[in-house]
A and B are shown apart, each in its own frame.
Chain A
Amino acid sequence: MLKISNLHASVEDKKILKGIDLQVNAGEVHAIMGPNGSGKSTLAQVLAGRDAYEVTEGSVEFLGQDLLEMAPEERAREGLFLAFQYPVEIPGVSNAYFLRSAVNAVRKHRGEPELDAIQFGKYIREKMKLLDLDPSLLNRSVNEGFSGGEKKRNEIFHMAVMEPKLCVLDETDSGLDIDALKIVADGVNALRSPDRGILVVTHYQRLLNYIVPDFVHVLVDGRIVKSGDKNLALELEEKGYGWLEAEAAARA
């Protein structure tokens, strides 16, 4: 589904990603872990098409297409979804209007008829139950005045509504208390399916107790220095990142 080869990216001439290789197949859950500044969030943003980052080398194939050639909206329409670490507040635009525009943009791209307000309302209410969200949230401006937890839940809600093929979650656990973390994890787990790939970017192992990954990769200084199964995450929880950082430094 997703094949990242030798990906290099920089921001304002500062090299952040220094040769990432990673393959995510349908049905798999991958976790990317790493210390602060290792490039985890950059990887997520580059996949979604943020133009602040410049890809200097390498390639990314998504469902057989060159992902890097596509505009951010085209990536989303093809089925890539990024749950933001810092969801943006948009005063004056209701959640419902925003989501209908998004869903209809995808449907139009697929050649499906667009949903009117009533059809969409029916569809969306079912999805809300999944995340235990207050229906009044639909009429509120996107993320405006939301608490940290509400913003993250709203991201997972958007993800559930858009039914992407590949979900990328950027530090979705940051700033969540344990109850909110469980709700978010339940929402993600409900989306696990044999047709869908999930890439979870996180600093802490905590989230992976609830979203159990098939593969864990450790990113240090822009490179994946170690890959393993869920036990690698537990090992990191115990030993920290220091030993891997030391190893990476020794190799460089």
Chain B
Amino acid sequence: MALALDSRTPFQKLYRFDAGAPWERLRRTAAEFFESVGVPGTKNEEWRFTSLREFAEHEFAPAQPRDWDGRFGSADPIVVQDALRLVVVDGVFRPDASSPDIPAGLTVGSWSQTKDDPAWRRFGSTVQVDRHPFAALNTACFSEPILVHAAPGATIERPIHLAFVSQRSDAASAVFPRVLVVVGENAEVKILETHSGDGTYFTAPVTEVFVDQNGRLEHTKVQQDSLDAFHIGHVRATQEAGSVYASNAVSFGARLSRNDIDIWLGGEHTETWLNGAYMAFGEQLTDNHTRLDHAMPNCHSFQVYKGILGGAGAGVFNGKIYVHPDAQKTDAKQTNKALLLSPQATINTKPQLEIFADDVKCTHGATVGQLEADSLFYLRSRGIGLAEAQAILTYAFLAEVLEKISLEEVRTALERVVFRQVAKVEPMPEE
């Protein structure tokens, strides 16, 4: 079906208009919106430090379904032995590579496998495409969404691993992973979302999350995309009263990566953890934008983002906390720390607190710096060489965030990645 508007973006070929699908209208609105704004430039305040100029020079083709070689791209695969695994390769769900036995109380699978599940009714209802152009693009382009739905009261012991893989191809391809997560009342789930691949590609994943009353979700998103890839992702979570949502956002890969996490606290007494760990070396740029809407009273949020930047690596952090007039007794803590390992590395960091209630506790702190001289001397005075001492301290800096991930195999695998990366870093000359 032809699109009834003039496309001024290079993404027109990627739009999918499957007539009769329940999201036909959503798609159309999203496509129209994306066409009206296009790829944001650095004059857009939300994209001020993240230039998409190089990205926009590429013409991305729809990913072609191909056989899967079983690899997870250039990154070491993260294997969680007892996880329920769902694999999506080049935009196509692979039931052959996915775990078959699904525990009671849980629905997982692609749209075609799960279309009778009532949770689908919430699909797309909270993603704000007008605020996030690439979420709009995802909505216009995704192929088949994935559902994770825990029924009320279900405690799902096995973690759920959603693995998105892009294989190397001759033409740069684009994929649009789309996930809907619904954690029912009093249900408890752990989700690991991994992104990895080989070669040049573009991925714009959107994960839409609902944590219902007293539900608990630990959501670990690990971005280990190819160093030639572009990753522009969005997570939109809505929490109801008494719920706990812990987001662990890890960005280690991609040429350019941008992760927008928006959380709406729609009930009282919620708890939100936003843990972020990122690395950017060489020419990498990694941008984390978070927005927490404290819309109701008595909600607590704890945010810690830490990054290490080496070579000509660049980091961007923008953490918005919006406390609405009704949200009395809000307790929000935000910390952002970056370590610069080379004179060329940069970080742009911006805490943004907008508070419209008077009885709240909001704190934020941002530090940017080098390793502490006292710590370095302490290690060296015990015989540890300068380069190794710097590597140990750099590793420890990030390990402090990775420790928050409850899945041990994930934590260990990521710690290994960090250790290997920091061991390669040229030691900073002594002052």
Contacts and interface: CB of A to CB of B under 8 A. Distances in A.
Contact of A87 (B373, B378, B386, B398): B378
A229 to B, nearest CB: 30
Contact of A90 (B378, B386, B388, B403): B378
Interface of B is mostly: helix
Interface in A143-162: 158, 162
Given A72-B381, A73-B383, A88 B374 contact: yes
B378 A92 contact: no
B150 to A, nearest CB: 33
A92 B403 contact: yes
B34 to A, nearest CB: 42
A131 B397 CA distance: 30
Contacts of A109: 383
B400 A102 contact: no
Contact of A73 (B373, B375, B384, B399): B384
A88 B382 contact: no
A102 B388 CA distance: 10
Nearest to A109: B383
B383 A88 contact: no
A93 interface: yes
A48 B381 contact: yes
Interface string A184-203: 00000000000000000000
Interface string B392-417: 11011111100100000000000000
B396 A102 contact: no
B385 interface: yes
A18 interface: no
Contact of A92 (B380, B381, B383, B396): B396
Contact of A101 (B378, B384, B403): B384
Nearest to B389: A73
Contacts of A48: 377, 381
B400 A76 contact: no
A73 B393 CA distance: 16
B392 A93 contact: yes
Interface string A120-139: 00000000000000000000
Nearest to B398: A92
Contacts of A88: 374-375, 378
25 contacts: A49-B380, A71-B386, A73-B380, A73-B381, A73-B384, A76-B381, A76-B383, A81-B381, A81-B382, A82-B381, A90-B379, A90-B393, A91-B396, A91-B400, A92-B396, A92-B399, A93-B395, A97-B392, A99-B382, A101-B379, A102-B379, A102-B382, A105-B385, A162-B382, A162-B383
Given A88-B378, A92-B398, A102-B384, 16 more contacts: A51-B377, A71-B380, A71-B386, A76-B380, A84-B378, A90-B393, A91-B400, A92-B395, A92-B397, A92-B399, A93-B395, A93-B399, A101-B384, A101-B392, A105-B384, A162-B382
Interface of B: 373-375, 377-386, 388-389, 392-393, 395-400, 403, 430
Interface of A: 48-52, 71-73, 75-77, 81-82, 84, 87-88, 90-93, 97-99, 101-103, 105-106, 109, 141, 158, 162
A-B complex: 9 closest residue pairs judged by Cβ atoms: A92-B396, A76-B383, A102-B382, A88-B378, A72-B380, A105-B383, A92-B399, A73-B380, A93-B396
